[in-house]
């Protein structure tokens, strides 16, 4: 499977177009509805960047819930393979429902899928989306706005901090409905003596014009 190969080789994999334009518009239209979200974060207040995002409340929109369930099922084998390669004791059950029970046992019960909104001049600093002791090693982001029509700039930034070497970065331009799966925190990388662990962070470059919406799907719940 290409996505598995790309994840193993580089720590991320492009999915191509997963959401149709009406589905992207449907999610954007939810953003002003307060009761659909459990919290709103203004990035400037926390020095996270310039912009804002909202975490969905339960019940989440079926489109988001179904995508989270299906994608977790496909990614769990890669997560377990990565754990083995990094000699981690973590293991991930085959279904999202089982995994969320593990999260709940650690007090992590708040949903983490979100929508992010950036205006002209907005950006997101490099970070990792960790919300407690339990974390799934992969996450998904999908652009909801059309590049060149709705916004300019705003590339997804992925930075790999390699041991005893300078960091390496990628800037990935996603268009409406296109998605990417990437390492949440660590990924295994092949070396001369087997696999070693590298640290990954992600962010968003400056929006040059317009407004950019994106959806993020994190698989572990928050404390």
What tens-digit pLDDT sequence spans the chain (223 residues)? 899 999 999 999 999 999 999 999 999 999 999 999 999 999 999 999 999 999 999 999 999 999 999 999 999 999 999 999 999 999 999 999 999 999 999 999 999 999 999 999 999 999 999 999 999 999 999 999 999 999 999 999 999 987 777 889 999 999 999 999 999 999 999 887 889 899 999 999 999 999 999 999 999 999 9
pTM: 0.96
* Angle value at C-alpha 159, between 129 and 42, nearest 5 degrees: 40
pLDDT of residue 162: 75
pLDDT of residue 164: 73
pLDDT of residue 141: 98
pLDDT of residue 3: 95
Q: 3-class DSSP state for residue 90?
A: coil
pLDDT of residue 173: 98
Q: How far is 104 from 154, CA to CA, in rounded Å?
A: 34
Q: 3-class DSSP state for residue 67?
A: helix
Q: How far is 195 from 8, CA to CA, in rounded Å?
A: 11
Q: How far is 45 from 106, CA to CA, in rounded Å?
A: 28
Structure tokens at 57: 């409340």
pLDDT of residue 75: 98
DSSP 35: G
Question: How far is C-alpha 203 from the geometric centre of its chain's CA atoms?
Answer: 10
Q: 3-class DSSP state for residue 70?
A: helix
Structure tokens at 56: 């969905």
Structure tokens at 175: 């268009």
Q: Of 49, 172, 32, which is closest to residue 115 (Cα–Cα)?
A: 32
DSSP 74: H
pLDDT of residue 194: 84
């Amino acid at each position: 499977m290409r996505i598995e190969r790309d994840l193993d080789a580089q720590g991320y994999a492009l999915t191509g177009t997963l959401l149709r334009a009406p589905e992207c518009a449907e999610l954007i239209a939810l953003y002003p509805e307060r009761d659909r979200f459990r919290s709103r974060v203004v990035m400037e207040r926390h020095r996270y960047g310039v912009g804002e995002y909202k975490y969905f409340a339960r019940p989440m929109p079926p489109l988001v819930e179904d995508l989270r369930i299906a994608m977790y099922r496909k990614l769990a084998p890669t997560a377990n393979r990565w754990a083995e390669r990094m000699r981690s004791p973590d293991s991930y059950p085959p279904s999202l429902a089982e995994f969320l029970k593990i999260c709940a046992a650690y007090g992590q019960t708040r949903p983490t899928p979100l929508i992010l909104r950036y205006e002209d001049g907005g950006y997101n600093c490099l970070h990792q989306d960790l919300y407690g002791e339990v974390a799934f090693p992969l996450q998904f982001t999908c652009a909801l706005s059309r590049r060149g029509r709705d916004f300019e700039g705003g590339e997804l930034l992925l930075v790999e901090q390699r041991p005893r070497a300078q960091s390496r970065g990628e800037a990935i331009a996603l268009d409406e409905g296109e998605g990417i799966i990437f390492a949440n925190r660590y990924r295994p990388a092949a070396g001369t003596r087997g696999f070693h662990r590298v640290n990954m962070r992600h962010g968003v470059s400056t929006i040059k014009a317009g407004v950019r919406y994106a959806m993020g799907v994190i698989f572990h719940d928050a404390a």
